[in-house]
Homo-oligomer: A and B are copies of this chain.
Amino acid sequence: MKIAIDAMGGDNAPKEIIKGAVDAVNEYESNIILVGDETIIKEELKNYNYNEEKIEVIHTTQIIENEDKPSMAIRKKKDSSMVVATTLVAEKKADAIVSAGNTGALLASGLFILKRIKGIDRPALCTFIPTKKGISILLDAGANAECKSKNLEQFGIMGYIYAKKILKINNPKVGIVNVGSEEGKGNELTKASYELLKEQDINFVGNIEARYINEGDINVIVADGFTGNVVLKLMEGVAMTIFDMLKDVYKKNLKTKISALMIKDDLKNLKANLDYAEYGGAPLVGVNGNLIKAHGSSDSKAIKNAIKQAMECSKENIIEDIKSYL
């Protein structure tokens, strides 16, 4: 299996991206193609021990910056690490691409280079979210700010397949984020999507009130990309706020400081469990190739996890399952 990596994309590129790739080849049965500035990448690789046959470098001269306009960038920067890495997947020279670069440009790369699966109108970003009972998935996490009911219908189908294959859940429960659980609740979009999803041959369980998402009873959380993105970011924000407030409580006096010391490692674990970046990246489901969007601030560990996820997507052949369902 061969994973193409955009070595120049992300806040910590190329250093952390390259380290993540090296860790991945040392840990998993994977081959990596690092795409980016050859001189920099090769210089950086000298710091590590790894099987040199497992990492290939492809030289590119351009970088898509965060400020670049997405579709413009992929049209004008044909020799960018992101475009070239994605093209490797389109040309079947790699099984998947991982990038921590400009989200909009990466979505555009998926759409225009890998192209949509026939029958899918809008691909969706599919993120893991931490819950009390383990991992659920949320889609669309932000690829489409404006959605129609048929888009949510397709998100539900793709999410069902993804959860079944990747989370290994037998008959995953699919629900629409809503203001109440009863049928008929919500806005025009959620009402119409409800009607479409209940006709599908998946385990659609209806609406889920935002309050209960983190309970973990619903495995696949469906939302338009605006709502999904708000949900994802708010979860992160609320968790950060609570841990910051907790830190202030622990700093209060000697007693609380001692209490904090006693529980330090457990709290660290809890925090890690709640950190969705720990679980790898977000695949763009619905395009004709495995594309994983890693968090912009990914460190080597997040990149390694995203590579693992890319390997699983490609091994489980999600795309073929989506095609055959449709």
Given A212-B237, A233-B209, check contact A263 B274 (CB 8 Å): no
Categorize the interface residue count of chain A. Answer: 35 or more
Chain B residues, Cβ within 8 Å of A179: 142, 145, 225-226, 229-230, 233
The SS class assigned to the A binding surface is: helix
Does residue A35 face the partner (Cβ distance < 8 Å to B)? Answer: no
Whether A211 contacts B187 by the Cβ 8 Å rule is no
> Is A111 part of the contact surface with B, judged by Cβ < 8 Å?
no
A171 to B274, CA, bound (A): 36
The digit string for A242-280, where 1 denotes a CB below 8 A from any CB of B, is 101110011010011011101100110110011000000
Q: Mark A128-147, 1 if CB is under 8 A from B, else 0.
A: 00011000000000100110
Residues of chain B with a CB closer than 8 A to A57's CB = none
Residues facing B in A60-97 (CB within 8 A) are none
Query: Which chain B residues border A326 with CB–CB below 8 Å?
Result: none
User: Is B242 touching A242 in the complex (CB atoms < 8 A)?
Assistant: yes
Q: Among residues 119 to 160 in chain A, which have CB atoms less than 8 Å away from a CB atom of chain B?
A: 131-132, 142, 145-146
Taking CB atoms, residues of chain B closer than 8 Å to A209 are: 233
Whether B241 contacts A132 by the Cβ 8 Å rule is: yes
A210 interface residue, CB < 8 Å from B? yes
Contacts of A166 in B (CB 8 A): none
Q: A142-B179, A179-B225 are in contact. List 6 more A-B contacts (CB 8 A).
A: A145-B179, A214-B241, A242-B274, A249-B270, A252-B266, A256-B263
